[in-house]
Amino acid sequence: MSAPPPYQNQPQQPYGYQQPPQQPYGYQQAPPQQQYGQPQPPRGPQRPQRPQPTLLQRLRGVIIVLAVVVGVGWYIWDYNTNPHGGKAKAEAAASASAAADEAYDKKHNPKAGDCVKITGPDDSPEVTIVGCDSAEAQYKYGKTVYGGESCGAPYTTSITTTGRHTHYTRCFTKV
Are residues 169 and 114 part of one domain?
Answer: yes
Cβ–Cβ < 8 Å for 135, 121: no
Give domain status of residue 20, yes or no: no
Bridge partners of residue 167, in order along the sequence: 162
Q: Which of 4-8, 34-38, 67-71, 129-133 has the lowest mean pLDDT?
A: 4-8
Nearest residue to 68 (alpha-carbon basis) of 79, 58, 76: 76
Question: What average pLDDT does the segment 130-141 reach?
Answer: 93
Domain count, the chain: 2
Whether 90 and 113 share a structural domain: no
Query: What is the reported pTM?
Result: 0.44
- Residue-wise pLDDT tens digits, 53-100: 899 999 999 999 999 999 999 998 888 887 777 777 777 778 888 888
Structural domain harbouring 62: 55-95
Whether the CB-CB separation of 172 and 141 falls below 8 Å is answered with yes
Q: What phi, psi does 172 have (nearest 5°)?
A: -130, 155
